[in-house]
Amino acid sequence: MKISQNCIDLIKKWEGCKLSAYLCPAKVWTIGYGTTVYPDGKKVKKGDRITDQQAEGFLLDECQEKADAITQLISVEINQNQFDALVSFTYNVGIGAFKNSTLRRKLNQKDYEGAASEFKHWNKATINGVKQVLEGLAKRRKEEELLFRKKDGFGTPLDFEPSVEHSVTWLKGYPEGEDLIVVAYNKDKVVEIVTLKGNLKEDLTNLLNQYPKAKNFHIASVGEKIPDGERIEFVGHTQTLFSSVENPPTLERDLLIKGMSDEDAPGHDIQEMQERLKDLGYYKREIDGIFGSGTDDAVRSFQADVFGSGEADGKVGPKTWAKLWGTEKHIIQPPPPTQGTYLRLTKTNRKDCYGVYILILEYIKNGKVKDSLNVCSGQRNKQHFRKGIDSIPMSMTPLPEGKWYINNIIWAGGKDKYYGAIFNKGIGPVTVPIDYKGPNYTRRSAIEIHIDWNHPPFPGTAGCVGIHTVADYKRFVTWLRDTDPRDLYVDWGLGSCPQPN
C-alpha cells in the first residue's frame, strides 16, 4: 500500500518543521519534520540547515521507508485510513517499536478494535531517564486512533516512484584499467552499472554511499566478466562541475602562498583569485588582495575538492591556477536545424559525486550553440526523468520534459547583487521562474532556474534547474541579457519535447 495526503498532513501537523538542526527531548539531533537520519544514511548533526522543499523530501522518503516496513509486518487487510494512521504512528515511534508492539500483534490477529485501543498507550517519552506522559503525544495518538477507526474520507494513494539506489542490496567491483566498474545488484538482478574514474578513496566512499541498503561490497575475481548494460559515469572530485572561463587571467607570479599581498608585486593575482573563489562558493570574506588565513582556507578547500585532500597544501601555482578557471569541456550536440535563439536542457550519462545527474544547459543563438553550463535538477535518489503529463508534484524529481517559458530575472537584494539578501537557503539571491507550455500539461509548479545555494552539503533541487555557482549564474544572466531568449526546451530523450520553431 501507499500513503495518502492524509498521512502527510497528519505527520506535518504533529512533527512541525524546523529548518535548522535541534535537539529533541530525547537529546537526538533532529531537523525538518522529525528527520534524524538523512536518506543517504548520515545522521543529522549540529549546525545543519535545510530548505522547506528538502524537509518535505526527507519526510516523503521516511514515510516510504515506514510504509514498506508496515507492508511487510502486517498480514491482514487494512483500509487506506488504517494504513495512513499506522505510518504516522511508526514515523513517530520507529519501525522496531511497531514490530514489537501489542498494537501490531492484535492487528495481525484481526482484532481491529483491540489494535485501535492500543494507540493511546503510546503517549510517553523518556526525559532525563524518566518516562513521562506528554500532552502533545497524547493528542497525536488520539488523532491517529480516530483516523484508524474512520470508515470514510479515504485519501488517494500518492504514487511516488521508488528510488533505484534504495533497491540495491549488494555491490561488486570490477577493475578495468585505471577505472573501477561498480555493479549494483538487487539480489541476483543488475540494477545499474557505474564507472568510477580515478583512485581517490573519498570518491569510492561517495559512490558506495549512494546505496544505503547495500550490505556488502565484493571484488570480482581476476578475469571475471563484467555484466553487459549501459554504464553511468560517476564524476569524482578531480573533475570540476563549473564551466571553464574562455579568457582566464594570467598568473603573474610563479607561486602564491599565505602571507603574500598584491602590494608585494605588480598585478592583482590574489584579488582575482579571491573573486573567483568567492564566485565558486569557497571564499566568504572581504576581497582585499591579501593571502591571509581566510584565503588559505578557501584555497585548501578548493584543492581538496578538485585534487583530493592529499594535495590540499594551500600553495597556488600554475596547476591550481588553471583548475580555478576550469578545464571542463562539453561534448556539444548540434541543435536541431533551426535559426532560432533559445535555451536547451539535456541529460548526460554522468552523475556528480553526490549522485545527481549532470545536465547540460545550452544557449543556442541563431541555430548555433553559443555557450553551455553544467547544471542539476531534482534530489539525489529521485533522479527519475519523466514527460510533463507523467511528472508528479512533491516527487522531488527533475523538471519534466517539454517546452517552458522563461520569465524575467528576480533579485532578492537588487539587480546584480549576488551576495547579501537571499530568497531562502536553497534558492539564494536570484532566480528566474519558468512556466510549462506543453505538450499537454504537467502537475508540477513553482519551477525556477536558480543557484543551488546550499550545495554542499545538500546538493540538488526540489525539481528546479540548479546552477552550481555564482560564477556560472553570472554567465547564464549574460545569455538572457544578450538576446532575451524566452523558450527553454527540456529534452530527456523521451520523445515529447517539441522541436524549436
Confidence of residue 216 (pLDDT cuts 50, 70, 90): very high
| Cα–chain center distance at 182 | 22
Q: What is the C-alpha separation between 377 and 434, in angstroms, rounded? A: 14
The identity of residue 34, as a single letter, is: G
3-state secondary structure string across 189-202: EEEEEEEECCCCHH
Question: What pLDDT shows up at residue 276?
Answer: 94
pTM over 0.85: no
Q: Which residues of 132-149 are buried (b: 16+ CB within 10 A; e: fewer)?
A: eeeeebeebbeebbebbe
Mean pLDDT of 449-456: 87
Kindly tell me if the per-residue pLDDT of 237 is higher than 70.
Answer: no
457 or 353: whose pLDDT is higher?
353
Fold designation for 262-324: Muramoyl-pentapeptide Carboxypeptidase; domain 1 (1.10.101)
Domain edges within the chain: 5-149, 165-234, 262-324, 342-491
Question: What pLDDT shows up at residue 328?
Answer: 53
User: Which one is catalytic: 24, 161, 224, 252?
Assistant: 24
Q: What is the C-alpha separation between 309 and 54, in angstroms, rounded? A: 29
Question: What pLDDT shows up at residue 353?
Answer: 84
The identity of residue 177, as a single letter, is: G
CA distances from 257 to 69, 251, 260 (A): 55, 13, 6
Pairing between β-strand 430-438 and β-strand 402-406 as defined by DSSP bridges: antiparallel
332 or 297: whose pLDDT is higher?
297
Mean pLDDT of 98-120: 97
258 or 203: whose pLDDT is higher?
258
Mean pLDDT of 194-211: 86
Helix (H, G, I), strand (E, B) or coil at 214: coil
Share of residues in the chain with pLDDT > 70 (%): 97
Mean pLDDT of 136-147: 96
Q: How much is the CA Rg of the chain, to the nearest whole Å?
A: 25
3-state secondary structure string across 343-375: EEEEEEEEECCCCCEEEEEEEEECCEEEEEEEE
Kindly tell me if the per-residue pLDDT of 128 is higher than 80.
Answer: no
Domain 5-149 class, CATH top level: mainly alpha
37 or 479: whose pLDDT is higher?
479
51-65, 170-184, 285-299, 394-408: which range is least confident on average? Answer: 51-65
Kindly tell me if the per-residue pLDDT of 251 is higher than 80.
Answer: yes
Question: What pLDDT shows up at residue 48?
Answer: 86
Kindly tell me if the per-residue pLDDT of 160 is higher than 80.
Answer: no
Q: What is the C-alpha separation between 396 and 379, in angstroms, rounded? A: 6
24 is catalytic: yes
Mean pLDDT of 223-241: 84
Question: What pLDDT shows up at residue 178?
Answer: 87
Identify which of 183, 166, 309, 282 has the alpha carbon closest to the alpha carbon of residue 234: 183
Residue with cell 483500509: 79
Question: What pLDDT shows up at residue 58?
Answer: 87
Mean pLDDT of 45-58: 84
Kindly tell me if the per-residue pLDDT of 288 is higher than 60.
Answer: yes
Question: What pLDDT shows up at residue 329?
Answer: 54
User: Which one is catalytic: 7, 15, 62, 353?
Assistant: 15
Kindly tell me if the per-residue pLDDT of 127 is higher than 90.
Answer: no
Question: What pLDDT shows up at residue 244?
Answer: 80
Quickly list H helices, 4-119: 5-15, 52-73, 80-93, 95-99, 102-108, 112-118
Kindly tell me if the per-residue pLDDT of 1 is higher than 80.
Answer: yes
87-91, 127-131, 193-197, 424-428: which range is least confident on average? Answer: 127-131
Question: What pLDDT shows up at residue 414?
Answer: 94
Question: What pLDDT shows up at residue 42?
Answer: 81
481 or 26: whose pLDDT is higher?
481
15 is catalytic: yes
Question: What pLDDT shows up at residue 393?
Answer: 84
Instruction: Give 107's Cβ-side CA count (13 Å radius).
Output: 27
42 or 114: whose pLDDT is higher?
114
Question: Average model confidence (pLDDT) for the chain?
Answer: 91
Q: What is the C-alpha separation between 351 and 246, in angstroms, rounded? A: 25
100 or 61: whose pLDDT is higher?
100
Residue 221 dihedral angles phi and psi, to the nearest 5° = -70, 155
Fold designation for 342-491: L,D-transpeptidase catalytic domain-like (2.40.440)
Question: What pLDDT shows up at residue 496?
Answer: 96
The identity of residue 288, as a single letter, is: D
Kindly tell me if the per-residue pLDDT of 455 is higher than 90.
Answer: no
Question: What pLDDT shows up at residue 238?
Answer: 59
Helix (H, G, I), strand (E, B) or coil at 437: strand
Mean pLDDT of 466-490: 96
| 325-374 per-position pLDDT tens digit | 875 555 566 777 778 999 999 999 999 888 899 999 999 999 999 999 99
